[in-house]
Chains A and B, each alone.
Chain A
Amino acid sequence: MHKKLLLGVEAIGQGAIDGGISGVYAYPGTPSTEITEYIQESETAIKRNLHRQWSANEKTAMEAALGMSYAGKRTLVCMKHVGLNVAADVFMNIAITGVNGGMVVAVADDPSMHSSQNEQDSRYYGKFAMVPVLEPTDQQEAYDMTIAGLEFSEKAGVPVMIRITTRLAHSRSGVKTIPTARLENPISLPSDPMQFVLLPANARKRYNSLLAQQPNFLKYSEESSWNRFEDGPDRSVGIVCCGIAFNYFRENYPGTSPYPYVKISQYPLPEKLLKQLDAQVDEILVLEEGYPLVEEQLKGFFGRGKRVSGRLDGTLPRAGELNPDLVASALKIEKLVAQPLPELLVNRPPALCKGCGHHDTYRALNEVMKEYGKGKVFSDIGCYTLGALPPYNSIYSCVDMGASVTMAKGAADAGLFPSIAVIGDSTFTHSGITGLLDAVNEKSNMVLIIGDNESISMTGGQDSSALGRIEAICKGVGVDPDHIQVLESLPKNHELLVEILRKEINYNGVSVIIPRRECIQKLARRKRN
């Protein structure tokens, strides 16, 4: 056994390599990015030449992974929680088609929204699609589950989801790994040629076969070594702990627990273990990271019978990530009052880097927009979202990948003038192109600013998928080449950008302005190496 010091996400990457994948597919997103980055840098992955390039978005990633699985090979697809929304169409349907080569869908949730616009809980998607979900407690389980998940996926012919959350994703610990990676599968086509054809008549058959598999998934869960019941002498309350909430529970009882408990790291919920707990205790406390998914299921609509507490009754906060202190308080453990924080302490929010090209864009945009008033600039997800904060306060929306383009279009349709969108190069190629096509088709009166820093910067400078081809894409979509303006985003070009903005705002149709300069962080990294 080798022991490596790995982040939770890196443990998934190593597990995938050791589990014999032939490729990883992903679009970067905190806290999932390092799964793919780890595989990109792995010696084994390089030697085997596993597929490890970034995809344009999570949907294209998952579909390509499905193609690899169709060809009989094992594959991993990774994303952050909101990325699964983008891939939800294919995800829901591959539960029904099933898979051929083993396929693990690794989704990293971000409770407390450290780097996200919401804290949705991906376990609901697993339940929605009716596929097995694995939720590791620690880095070792993250590794082991990835290997086992690929194995089970291939055997049962169903995608398996691994759900982790920020704390485990970005925490490092020792992981025992197997000495050599499993060999890759040879190419083999699905035995049923109609498996992937979801025409209604066939889809009904496939759906019934997914339904028929449910008892197997339950059995897999009930017999899983990652789910277990432990007895305890104090029967006044039984604890149900899911994923890393188990750690916070045990942190408070490092020896043995006084209460009986069920540790849950695999879904569907292990009925037998929960019934065993239920039979012994007066009430139940549910500790889970994310939404109250388990609590809702155990509670029942009318709340009759045994008391079930957790996030719904205020025993734990309804929102945000858990920690050892919140769990201690739910367990009614008295803790010393920690010292208060000094009053002179102020918040230090993230900000655009010194020397970043987005400064130049926002300075010019603000100067022009002074004439038109506030509230007319839509934006998107990336470093430039920081333009919503002081000192710029330039933008008025950040909703989902690509929404700046289509919101600006809709607002222009409504008669808002001017209607401006600010998006980054990578977010544009992720989900902005189709929106631009809508705008071109209707000659919407809007200005699209694509702040091209030639990189996916917020997540650490990954390669942007249309490097050097942004203008070509805009032309291809049908934007009038006379209204595609490219300039270098530099302080010396301030007057030029102001002039271009004024001119394009007054053009009645779709204009695209591309202020371009390499991300300052990426430049620094390039110079260091």
Chain B
Amino acid sequence: MKCDIVLAGVGGQGILSIATVIGLAAVNNNLYIKQAETHGMSQRGGAVQSYLRLSDKPIFSDLIPSGEAQLILSVEPMEALRYLNYLSKDGYVVTNITPFVNIPDYPETDELLTRIDNLPRVVAINAENIAKNAGNVKSSNMVMLGAASPFIDLPLQGLEQAIRDIFARKGDEIVAVNLSAFRTGRAFTEQKLNS
């Protein structure tokens, strides 16, 4: 088993919370893991990414070779496109569709979303809306993880347990909100795949 994932977003959007959940679930499943993060200047509103590699065999490179990622999981639509060179031929893009506009030359939203819809294998999701309905707009990253979870080779229970473990110190209510966000995100993708 080998699963390479590019996590993408803008500095400050908290993509590392997603990486932490996947990482913990992978470790609990006795998988090897390497997870390269972006620290430093880019965290001030710049483009940030995390290369997450899971395998049942030792992993060498901390970076994913181009064309080998099974999944691009992006919490921002334009950032989803920045790493397409890493995506494998049959890889999926799972992206939030709410633009984070902090630059003057951000592309037209309609054009951007059309470009995303035209990707061969894509799940585009309004994570903020779903998170709001699930109880807390701050849980949008767990909506995204849920939506991407059908493409991550980890048992569903493992991911849910990792969410419980990671949010445990913030109390039962926060755990419940994040689990609900995760499940709603997953249901969205399952419905899309079945339709």
Contact = CB atoms under 8 A, between A and B. Distances in A.
B35 interface: yes
Interface stretch (A83-91, A321-329, A410-418): A321-329
Interface string B1-45: 000000000111000000000011001000011111111111111
Contacts of B35: 171-173
A254 B57 CA distance: 10
Interface of B: 10-12, 23-24, 27, 32-47, 51, 57, 59-67, 78-79, 81-82, 84-87, 89, 102-107, 111-112, 115
B82 to A, nearest CB: 6
Interface stretch (A147-155, A333-341, A483-491): A333-341
Nearest to A390: B104
B82 A344 contact: no
Interface of A: 3, 5, 7, 30-31, 33-34, 114-115, 167-168, 170-174, 244, 246-248, 250-251, 254, 323-325, 328, 335-336, 338-342, 344-353, 383, 386, 390-391, 458-459
Q: What is the interface of chain A mostly: helix, strand, loop, or mixed?
A: loop
Given A348-B47, A351-B44, A342 B85 contact: no
A404 to B, nearest CB: 18
A459 B40 CA distance: 6
Contacts of B45: 348, 350-351, 353
Contact of A325 (B11, B38, B39, B65): B65
15 contacts: A114-B40, A167-B62, A172-B34, A247-B62, A248-B61, A251-B60, A328-B65, A342-B81, A342-B115, A344-B112, A348-B78, A349-B46, A351-B46, A353-B45, A458-B40
Nearest to B105: A346
A114 B41 contact: yes
A174 B55 CA distance: 12
A170 B39 contact: yes
B107 A339 contact: no
Contacts of A336: 67, 89
Instruction: Give 3 nearest A-B pairs by CB, closest first.
Output: A115-B40, A30-B40, A350-B46
Contact of B78 (A339, A345, A386): A345
A31 B81 CA distance: 26
B61 A341 contact: no
Nearest to B45: A351
B115 A344 contact: yes
Nearest to B112: A344
Contact of A5 (B27, B36, B66, B103): B27
A345 B85 CA distance: 13
Nearest to A346: B105
A324 B63 contact: yes
Nearest to B51: A171
